[in-house]
A and B are shown apart, each in its own frame.
Chain A
Amino acid sequence: MRLFAKILKVGLVTEPLGPGDDAVVRVARAVEAKARKLLGRAVAIREVDAGSCNGCEVEITGLMSPVYDSERFGIHFVASPRHADLLLVTGPVTRNMEIPLLKTYEATPDPKVVVAVGDCAQTCGVFRGSYAVVGSVDAIIPVDVFVGGCPPEPADILRGILTALDRLPVRKGRA
């Protein structure tokens, strides 16, 4: 009985939450259109934490929440770089994460793009000059787009992903 009640309750609230603010909606539409053109509207993301304070991770997690729901644009996170099209890198690259980051980049099959998320990824932020930090993300692997902010909002991250997809070389013919 309780089981049925529960399902009924869940069923009742199954209304799609409206997408967040207007900016997000616009970005979302744009991402959807671009992604469809470039990657067949299926973007698989592998997130690499190269030494971040996890502030960016919290925001990235927001992408998957019911509010932003990145899945509706065909963007989803995957467990292995082998499955990924896009690397989402956060944080200043620490000494211990330098080789793993490189290896992740190498493990990702072409065509691929890299989006560096957060100020630290671009400038190392407050960690600049630390003995434990190697440098910004683009010192290790080629970065297509930087997303600024400490931390950036999910909408910014979406916009960054969009821009990166723009740079993706479009392959034609016997692709």
Chain B
Amino acid sequence: MTIASWLLYIIVGAHALGALAALGLRGAAGRVLGATGAGAGSLATLGLGAWCLGTGTVLAITAPILPLTGLALRVDGVSAFFLIVAGVAGAAASVYGAAYSAHYEGRYSLRLLGAMWNVLLLSLPIQVLADNALTFLMTWEVMSLSAYFLVLTEHDRRETVRAANWYLVVTHAGFAALVAAFLLLAAGDPTASFAAMRSAVLAPGTRDAVFVLALIGFGAKAGIVPLHVWLPMAHPVAPSHVSALMSGVVIKMGVYGLLRVSLDLLGGGPAWWGGLALGVGAVSALLGVLYALMEHDLKRLLAYHSIENVGIIFMGLGAGLVFQSYGLPALATLGFVAGLYHTLNHACFKGLLFLGAGSVLHATHTRNMEELGGLIHRMPRTAVGFLIGAAAISALPPLNGFASEWLVFQALLGGSTIPRAEIAVVMPIAVAMLALTSGLAVACFVKAFGITFLALPRSAEAAQAQEAPLAMQIGMGALVLACVALGLAPFFVVPVLGSALGGVGGLPTASVEFSLGTSFRVAGAVGQMSPLLVALGLALLIGLTLGSLRAFADRRLRPGDTWGCGRIGHTARMEYTATAFAEPLRRIFAELYRPTQDLSIDFHPASRYFVESIEYRSAIHPWFEQALYTPVLRLLRGAAHRVRRLQAGSLHLYLTYMTIVLVVLLIVARWPR
């Protein structure tokens, strides 16, 4: 028995016990024990990933659990990395969830929540370890369904049910694409192992089809535009620790899957694969952040940012695929590393932000930013956590978002070494879109943090808010530490990621491209930097400024009212709102948002010069979603109508159908090939 396999057993055991405890025990005991199992299992997942990545262990296990093929598991660098992603976010969210789910007591089923939470957390490591098509697809389904039940926790709300339905439909459409992709990849044999797929020689047309199907299937899971519609519906209505895990890890399984299929199983492809991934990534990133800007529901805003960040990750992967097709392994590694690094970073800061938003929801019972405000005074620790998450997702140095976005930029700039016209056209546009995305993200998080946590509370609930319980603070604190550490230490993380990718899909095994040191240099890329030194410098300079101000400047300080041109009273109604904050951008991008406006004025009956009330409504409609989904829905409805004719309600008719199908199947099966 090696350490790795022990860890694997601990993962399975802990989650199984956690699920059983959650199902079997009532009240606080079940909740805490379930969370403990989940947390322990996640820590073991993290340990397994770190151990395998650190020692380079390749572990392969086959257990005869599934029919036909058995459960085939294998750890390599890529899966070990995703184990770490799942472990970090899972552990933090489990600790947080132990306290967070307390307020569901007596209202919603805690048993189902605890059990499904453990099932989901168990399915994630299995997912990335899966080594044959059947294991992969079965786990995929378990993961999707457990996430579905978790989304449905608050099942008595209309929006929850609607969101869960959308999620189920889109994810199953994606699943269908995946099944098709794997069937093509394995030449019709659903039991084929990944090793067999790697060595299989496919026609170029088939390979293209597999890639496109995989992009659709995994893109639906990852929330790539235009398959993202379920994401901003499902993430807000799920319990917050579930949102954190779904946004941080579950949608990353799409990234993992795409990487596994396109790079590992297919071994890379023509340049347009990468170009397609880069393109949908850039569009998702930009549209994600643009819609996030218009959102005033804190959790939905974060959900749109998940789309944005998945887009950035896809840009990194796409750039990697492009470079690989041009035979530039060092640059390709840079692109993939940038994508993976951002995956890990996003799991940390987005997990943190969702947990922070959960604390706000927990304290104020509203997700609407227009009713929040001033929480920094009532919930100082949550505010610090959210601020760090906001700065990290805005790619501000020296936090982790900056390190990975810098890498994506470097990868794209590195593309300038390819002397081809299409690259010369695509790369500057991609760089510009990424830059616009990150600029808008900063604006969006100034809004999210500023409106939610600063200024005066805009409602009684916000004014009465209480700081989150300790367990929730611990969950957030862990992720804060992760964000800071990952931001300061790219010189450590990047070579590890490089070695994790080593050997996958023909990438160079030894990652000599990345030199260690506090400032890290990347061969093929065109710049270097050191977040650690930047952070040190900033800290030093702040200290120095503070010190010299103490010494030389006047130190008097007098509290006073906020300056409002001498207005007599200053109330929360006079503050800038989230809508107002985003208004300039809404006007600038009006052609995209197509806002509808509705102004109705009630005049005083006596005179038109006196107004009794003014009502102004404005809403934005994601027109491309309507343009895309309305026809599909109409088509589906039409098809369903036609199919309904088959439904006569007569038992005999149904039996006839079955007989016909049986006969046809027998004929097909017996048909000589």
A residues with a Cβ closer than 8 A to B are 48, 80-82, 97, 99-101, 103-104, 106-107, 109-110, 174-175
Contact = CB atoms under 8 A, between A and B. Distances in A.
Contact of B565 (A100, A109, A175): A100
Nearest first, the 3 A-B pairs at minimum CB distance are A100-B566, A103-B566, A107-B563
Interface in B527-579: 552, 554, 556, 558, 560-561, 563, 565-568
Contacts, number: 29
Interface of B: 552, 554, 556, 558, 560-561, 563, 565-568
B558 A99 contact: no
A109 B558 contact: yes
B552 to A, nearest CB: 8
A174 B550 CA distance: 10
Given A100-B565, A101-B566, A174-B554, 16 more contacts: A80-B563, A97-B566, A99-B568, A100-B567, A100-B568, A103-B561, A103-B568, A106-B560, A106-B561, A107-B563, A107-B566, A109-B558, A110-B556, A110-B558, A174-B552, A175-B554
Contacts of A103: 561, 566-568
B230 to A, nearest CB: 48
Nearest to B564: A103
A134 B566 CA distance: 17
Contacts of A80: 563
A63 B568 CA distance: 30
10 contacts: A81-B563, A99-B566, A99-B568, A100-B566, A100-B568, A103-B561, A104-B566, A107-B563, A107-B566, A109-B558
A106 B558 CA distance: 10
A76 B19 CA distance: 71
Contacts of B558: 109-110
Contacts of B565: 100
Contacts of A106: 560-561
Contacts of A175: 554
B559 to A, nearest CB: 10
Contacts of B566: 48, 97, 99-101, 103-104, 107
A81 B560 CA distance: 12
A17 B536 CA distance: 53
Contacts of A101: 566
Contacts of A48: 566
Contacts of B552: 174
B57 to A, nearest CB: 62
Contacts of B567: 100, 103
A110 B557 CA distance: 10
A91 to B, nearest CB: 14
Nearest to A82: B563
Contacts of A100: 565-568
Nearest to A106: B560
A119 B556 CA distance: 35
Contacts of B560: 106-107
B561 A107 contact: yes
Nearest to A171: B554
A99 B570 CA distance: 13
A38 to B, nearest CB: 15
B567 to A, nearest CB: 7
